[in-house]
Structure 1
Amino acid sequence: MSTYWSASGWKQERGPLSGEDVEFAKSKGLMFDPIPITHDEIVSRLHELHLQVAKK
Structure 2
Amino acid sequence: TDSDGTQHEIKGATTCEYTLSSKDIGSLVSVSCEPVRNDWAHGPIVTSECIGPVLP
Query: If the TM-score is normalised by the length of the shorter chain, which range does it land in?
Result: under 0.3
What is the TM-score when the length of structure 2 is the normalising length? 0.21
Larger RCO: 1 or 2 (CA < 8 Å, sep 6+)? 2
Structure (1/2) with the larger helix percentage: 1
**Which protein is bigger by CA-based radius of gyration?**
1
